[in-house]
Chain A
């Protein structure tokens, strides 16, 4: 589904991603771990098309389509969803109005008629239940005055509503207490199918107890320095990231 080949990218001349290779197939969950500043959010931003990043080398396809050539909105319409590490607040724009606009834009791109008010409401209710999202938030202004945890849960609610092919969750677990973490994970697990895929960026092994990944990758200084299964996450928890430094340096030499 997603294929990243030798991706190099940076900001204002500063190299941040230094040759990422990753293959994600439908039905899979990939976890990306790594110390602060290793480039995890940058990878998510580059995939989603944030303007400030410049891609200097490499290739990314989503279902055979060249992702890097598309505008950010077209990537979203093609089925890429990013649950932001820091969701923004948009005062005065109701959550529900925003979602309706988003959903209908995506539908229009796929030549589908806009959802009528009734079907939209029904869908909202269904998804709210699925990810246990409190209805009182749906009519409030988008993320305005939401706590960190509420914002993260809103990201998952949006994910449920928009039904993307590929979802990237950027540290959705940080700032969540244990109950919220369980609710969010349950939501994600319910949304998993054999047709969609998830990339879960996290700092902690904790989340991966709830959302069990098929693969774990370690990002270090802009490169994936190690890939494995869930066992790798446990190993990282135990040993920290320092031991990877050497591996990274070794890789650099080749």
Chain B
């Protein structure tokens, strides 16, 4: 019988299931980043002047910025001139109905498990699908319209609801926020837009599916979600990319705005191509996600299951401006082979009685490196602010790493901040116990890991919790025994 160390050195790479490429005629901008590129994109999208100006401002900011240096990994060299900033399936600019969408595209999303026809869609889930740079379909639009809900691609929102986009885009993540956010503002090509009017509870999950297909392109999408007073919405994003030997950049921006008494729940299941077992290829996932609880009693909750990407660099944050507002961050991040994750959250307590809750579960296998980085900031007016942070790390094997960097800055002595952290290893005892009940090691690890991540998975909408559970199991296949 192989000893556990034999088994661990024998780590095999489970095939990345979504590594295929769709063969479709694309409209691709030549590689390179300049003001011309930005003019090109803006013209392609027939954008108003103010948006072009904003992009150009962002580009200036981008040029002044340098790469971040504080993360717990060596920043790869990214040659921004080698990337193409626009790729779209060649076809009509706007799809009025699914019948106009290239069947090859529909087939691609079907293969990814994302049916775009409304009859086949998961009951109660409206989907926007983004293929490389553009949104190809948004389902259930009509149904949502009856309630006054706007759910469409970002480009469409620019045309149809310019006043909302102009008012809110860049209001939470400014064009100069950080180098990747600036880059995104300069060259973003599409994304999703959601507006939930006053007092409306969105009756279905809204979901965007991002797919990178074309080689040497980057994906730079923007998502903007506004929940007006008393509104509620649950939103889910998923993503995959083909297997390629080159690294590809994904630099997205997500902005959430919750007015008084509104609630936004944002869930991510991130499964970009992670690279092969030697660390070749994979997506660089540099994402800026931030929400603001603008009004009193507002709530924003981030849930993320991060299993893909060669490098994940993201810190979904909440600005707790309204009194009694609430921010949550639930995260499971898995790294295996040579994957790197440096992820966590920031909770900025500004209003009185604001509360935040951070549950982070890192899982490292193979040579994976997993860092939790979190900031809990309490301003001088944030009377009785409360934070609870639970930060757990699980190690599978002895060649991986887990690190935690919790920062606390409190300017108010009435604040209560609690931090708990644990590091554990999947024990041979646990695996043997399950083996002894007839469960093989692979399944045993899956059970243990899913149990470990339970608290986070429970936050996901039902259908996706099941998917995420499967994804965790598949991701870790071959990590032990």
- Given the known interface contacts A51-B4, A88-B427, A88-B430, the answer about A93 and B447 at a Cβ–Cβ threshold of 8 Å is yes
A98 contacts which of B427, B428, B447, B454 (Cβ < 8 Å)?
B447
Contact A92 B436 (CB under 8 A): no
Measured in the bound complex, the distance between the Cα atoms of B438 and A88 in whole Å is 16
In the complex, the answer to whether B447 meets A105 with C-beta atoms within 8 Å is: no
Interface 1/0s, chain B 320-341, versus A by CB < 8 A?
A: 0000000000000000000000
Could you tell me if B436 and A82 are in contact, using CB atoms closer than 8 angstroms? yes
Which of B427, B434, B443, B448 has the most C-beta atoms of chain A within 10 angstroms of its own C-beta?
A: B434
A106-130 interface mask toward B, CB cutoff 8 Å, 1 = contact, 0 = none?
1001000000000000000000000
Contacts of A90 in B (CB 8 A): 430, 433-434, 447-448, 451
**Interface residues as binary, B440-462 with A (CB distance below 8 Å gives 1, 0 otherwise):** 11010001101111110000000
Stretch at the interface among A14-22, A68-76, A174-182, A223-231: A68-76
A192–B10 Cα distance when bound, in Å, is 43
Residues of chain A within 8 A of B429, CB atoms compared: 88
| Minimal Cβ-Cβ distance residue in B for A87 | B433
Known: A71-B435, A82-B436, A92-B453. 20 other contacts (CB 8 A): A48-B436, A50-B432, A51-B428, A51-B432, A73-B438, A73-B439, A73-B440, A75-B436, A76-B438, A81-B436, A88-B427, A90-B430, A90-B451, A93-B447, A93-B448, A97-B447, A98-B434, A102-B438, A109-B438, A162-B437
Taking the closest CB of chain B, its distance from the CB of A55, in whole angstroms, is 10
B123 touches A (CB below 8 Å): no
Q: Tell me if A77 and B432 are in contact (CB < 8 A).
A: no
Q: Does B3 contact A (CB under 8 A)?
A: yes
Docked Cα-Cα span, A48 to B429, in Å, equals: 13
Is A25 an interface residue, CB under 8 A from the partner? no
A97: nearest chain-B partner, CB-CB: B447
Instruction: Indicate if the CB atoms of A72 and B448 lie closer than 8 Å.
Output: no
A222 at interface by CB-CB < 8 Å: no
A149 to B257, CA, bound (A): 52
What's the Cα separation between A49 and B433 when bound, in Å?
11
A202 sits at the interface (CB 8 A): no
Residue pair A88, B433 in contact (C-beta under 8 Å): yes
Q: What string of 1s and 0s marks CB contacts (under 8 Å) between B449-478 and chain A?
A: 011111100000000000000000000000
B436 near A101: Cβ-Cβ < 8 Å: no
A50-90 residues at the B interface, CB under 8 angstroms: 50-52, 71-73, 75-77, 81-82, 84, 87-88, 90
A91 to B449, CA, bound (A): 9
Tell yes or no: A185 within 8 A of B by CB: no
Find out whether the CB atom of B1 lies under 8 angstroms from the CB atom of A49.
yes
Contact in complex: A101, B433 (CB < 8 Å): no
Is A6 interfacial (CB-CB < 8 Å)?
no
Please give me the residue from chain B that is nearest to A105 by CB atom.
B438
Q: Find out whether the CB atom of A91 lies under 8 angstroms from the CB atom of B433.
A: no
Q: Report the minimal beta-carbon distance from A11 to chain B, rounded to whole angstroms.
A: 12
Interface residues of B (CB under 8 A from A): 1, 3-4, 427-430, 432-441, 443, 447-448, 450-455
Q: Does A205 contact B (CB under 8 A)?
A: no
Please tell me if the beta carbons of B435 and A73 are within 8 angstroms of each other in the complex. Answer: yes
Identify the A interface with B (CB < 8 A). Answer: 48-52, 71-73, 75-77, 81-82, 84, 87-88, 90-93, 97-99, 101-103, 105-106, 109, 141-142, 158, 162
Instruction: With both chains docked as a complex, state the minimum distance between the C-beta of B456 and any C-beta of chain A, in angstroms.
Output: 10
> Are B451's CB and A49's CB within 8 A?
no
* Pick from B427, B435, B450: contact of A76, CB under 8 Å: B435
A1 to B440, CA, bound (A): 24
Contact B451 A72 (CB under 8 A): no
A87, A88, A92, A97 — most chain B CB neighbours (10 Å)? A92
Q: Given A50-B432, A71-B1, verify A102-B451 contact (CB < 8 Å).
A: no
Residue numbers in B under 8 Å from A50 (CB-CB): 432
Q: How far is the CB of A79 from chain B (nearest CB, A)?
A: 10
Selected contact of B447 from candidates A77, A84, A101, A109, CB within 8 Å: A101
Complex CA distance for A242 and B451, rounded to whole angstroms: 47
Q: Are the C-beta atoms of B451 and A101 separated by less than 8 Å?
A: no
Query: Is A77's CB under 8 angstroms from B438's CB?
Result: yes
Least CB distance, B251 to chain A, in whole angstroms: 34
Most buried by A among B439, B448, B453, B455: B439
Cβ contact within 8 Å between B439 and A102: yes
B439 near A101 with CB under 8 A, answer: yes
For the complex, give the distance between the alpha carbons of A101 and B434 in Å. Answer: 10
Contacts of B428 in A (CB 8 A): 51-52
The answer to whether A72 and B432 have CB atoms under 8 Å apart is yes
Out of B437, B441, B450, which one reaches A92, CB within 8 Å? B450
Chain A residues lying within 8 Å of B4, measured Cβ to Cβ, are 51
Q: Give the chain A neighbours of B450 by CB distance below 8 A.
A: 92-93
For A98, list chain B residues within 8 Å (CB). 434, 437, 447
A51, A91, A158: the one within 8 Å of B437 (CB) = A158
On whether the beta carbons of A105 and B439 are closer than 8 Å, the reply is yes
Q: Which residues of chain A are within 8 angstroms of B440 by Cβ–Cβ distance?
A: 71, 73, 105
CB distance from B446 to the nearest CB of A (A): 9
Could you tell me the distance in whole angstroms from the C-beta of B453 to the nearest C-beta in chain A? 7
Residue from A48, A82, A93, A141 having most chain B Cβ neighbours under 10 A: A93
Known: A91-B451, A92-B450, A92-B451. Is A106-B432 also a contact (CB below 8 A)?
A: no
Q: Considering only CB atoms, which chain B residue lies closest to A142 in the complex? A: B451
Nearest B residue (CB) for A109: B438
Contacts of A72 in B (CB 8 A): 432, 435-436
A180 CA to B428 CA in the complex, in Å? 29
For the complex of A and B, the 4 pairs showing the least CB-CB separation, nearest first, are A92-B451, A93-B451, A92-B454, A72-B435
Q: Is the CB of A106 within 8 A of B433?
A: no
Complex: A141 Cα to B433 Cα, angstroms:
15
A76 and B437 contact, CB distance less than 8 A: yes
Interchain CB contact under 8 A, A162 and B433: no
A88→B432 CA distance, assembly (Å): 10
Q: How far is the CB of B422 from chain A (nearest CB, A)?
A: 10
What's the Cα separation between A76 and B439 when bound, in Å?
A: 9
Return B121 CB to nearest CB of chain A, in Å: 26
* Residues of chain A lying within 8 A (CB to CB) of residue B433: 84, 87-88, 90
CB–CB A102/B430 < 8 A: no
Q: Within the assembled complex, what's the spacing in Å between the Cα atoms of A231 and B113? A: 67
B2: nearest residue on chain A (CB-CB)?
A: A51
